[in-house]
Structure 1
Amino acid sequence: MAFSSSSSEDNFGAARTSLRDTKFTGINSPSEASTRGKAPEGPQFDIISWYPKHQSCLRYFLDHAQYEPLVQAFAAFINILLPFQRQPHPVLGSGSSRSGKSRHDKDPSRPSSSERSLAAASAVSLIPYLRRLVVTGMDVPQVLHGFFGDDWRAGIGPQQEQERRNYLFAAKSGGWASVKKDYDMLPLETVPFMRPLNDPSEVEIEAAERTWSEWLALEDWMVGSRAPAAD
């Protein structure tokens, strides 16, 4: 059976609109306890609403924070390079190059300097910085605000929570040397020191315990129809 192009385009457009306008209700925030086998409690994590806040944090980090003396001091103390310090391809900002226009900008066949800068900025991940702050016990609100701006709670808060849980899992999985190896960024950006998780709450620890139990079940293939009954 042949499909008409107009019908296919209409169906695709409807699906795309549905995807854009519908919350990703099947995705839980890392801060939420596991709901496997249970009805979700409360609002679900909306990845569509989260992403602009995350982009705001990235722009703030690239355009402002990395040039602040206090952020630079923190980065030096925990031994991690900021984007503008990375050679041979520094990332100077989120949109436009600080070095001015390139001679290639007038060539329509080549991307402009701002386009190249934007592409480089989009490749920057905030996760290595979150991981380094977590493992050194410095993921406190005032530092996170200084690095990522006013939107830090909504923009990188869920990832911070997940990285805190990952740190707990790493500590439970292996010894000090194994954990340090996981958090070192070779060859030069090694972790200068590690501290226990900063100010964990009982709710956070209990949520990590439940997720750890699910991981152990996965190791034993106790998933799907074989999964342990939920309490």
Structure 2
Amino acid sequence: MASLPGFTSNFPAGYPTFQTRGNTFARGSTSSGESPSAPNTASEPHFDIFDWHPAYQSCQRYFLDHAQHEHGVQAVCALINICLPFQWTQHPLMNASGPLPHSSGPAAYNMPWPRQGPVTNSRGQPAPAWVSLVPFIRRLVITGMDSSGIMHGFFGEDWRKGVGPMHECERRNYLFAAKSVGWAKVKCQYDMSPHETVPYLKPLQEVQLAEIEGAEKTWSQWLAMEDWMVGPRAPDADEDAHRRAS
């Protein structure tokens, strides 16, 4: 998301679409018994996942090395009732070079098997810590704390490029949650643990018309999914078929 106000979508189609680069994730040829390839989306704008990922890693490092130790960030997290990585009871994470956390914190990477000794990368160097930023983005969104200034304070200079796409998705998810169920169930969905419940829910802030219209389009896609109106049955596919026939 470029900024709020002045909404600009990272995902005009509603969801991330990206083209493969080199041999990474290259599509195999479709043969009998294999799933058909995805529809041609060459005309659609694409989200460059390989361009985005370094910016996201930059946001992770900033959050772990700097932001979580700032008084302002700590005050916001205390108000919205979410623990920072260094505050986790088990395996607190002080910075990005610390050991990988086990499934102790709400944003910790859950390793499905035990590891002996420190985790290293392919070069034998200690692997950087990995913490998901999504739980923090979600909590900021639902409490109305996701202003540009706060997002910058939490995630650094690269926040628009690094976590902006997730910010956009989580704002849309909040709209969808409010449309799907009542207040109590929405709050329950956003509660994280008995000690990190949501203190309050605030209607989405700084909403632009383009954001609402984009959410409406994506919501319509979901309603079509519920009725199995996907692929050749998708409403857009029917419209294209009618245009070609006329």
Do both proteins adopt the same fold according to a TM-score greater than 0.5, normalized to the shorter chain? Answer: yes
Work out the number of aligned pairs and report it.
189
With normalisation by structure 1, the TM-score equals 0.74
Structure-2 residue corresponding to 1:129: 136
The offset of 1:40, in angstroms, is 3.3
Q: Aligned in 2, Cα 1:17/1:190: closer, same or farther, shift over 3 Å?
A: closer
> Given the alignment, which residue of 199, 209, 217 partners 1:202?
209
Look up the match of 1:148: 155
In the aligned structure 2, how far is the partner of 1:38 from the partner of 1:69?
46
Shift in CA distance, 38/44, structure 1 to aligned 2, threshold 3 Å: closer
Partner of 1:78 in structure 2?
80
8 Å contact from structure 1 (residues 96, 113) kept in 2: no
CA deviation string 1:130-186 (max 9, x = no partner): 000000011000000000000000000000000000000000000110110011112
Q: Which amino acid aligns with 1:201?
A: Q
Q: Which residue, 183, 188, 191 being the options, matches 2:190?
A: 183
Aligned residue for 2:50, secondary structure, equals helix
Bigger share in helix: 1
218-227 or 160-169, which moves further after superposition?
218-227
User: What is the letter of the counterpart of residue 217 of structure 2?
Assistant: R
1:172 maps onto 2:179 in alignment: yes
Q: How far off is 1:95 after superposition?
A: 1.0
Q: Which structure 2 residue ranges, 5 or more long, are not aligned?
A: 1-19, 27-38, 100-115, 240-246
RMSD (CA atoms): 2.8
Query: Hey, what does 2:10 align to over in structure 1?
Result: none
Residue type at the aligned position of 1:40? S
CA separation of 1:193/1:17 partners in 2, compared to 1, >3 Å: closer, same or farther? closer
**1:44, distance to aligned residue in structure 2 (A):** 1.7
| Larger Rg belongs to | 1
Encode CA deviations 1:95-131: one digit per residue, 9 max, x unaligned.
157xxxxxxxxxxx84389989745x21x11000000
- Pair 1:40 & 2:43 matched: yes
Kept in 1: contact 2:118–2:126 (CA 8 A)? no
3-state SS in 2 of match to 1:19 = coil
Which whole-Å CA distance do the structure 2 matches of 1:63 and 1:55 have between them? 12
Gap change, CA 1:96 and 1:83, over 3 Å in 2: closer
**Whole-Å Cα distance in 2 between the matches of residues 186 and 129 of structure 1?**
14
TM-score, scaled to structure 2: 0.70
In structure 2, distance between residues paired with 1:223 and 1:165: 21
Summarize the Cα distance change of 1:112–1:211 in structure 2 as closer, same or farther, 3 Å threshold: closer
SS at match of 1:203: helix
Asked if 1 retains the 8 angstrom alpha-carbon contact of 2:59 and 2:158, the reply is yes
Counterpart mapping for 1:1-231 below 5 A: 18-19=22-23, 40-41=43-44, 43-96=45-98, 110-111=117-118, 118=127, 121-122=129-130, 124-229=131-236
Unaligned runs of 5+ residues in structure 1 are 1-15, 23-35, 98-108
Identity %: 56
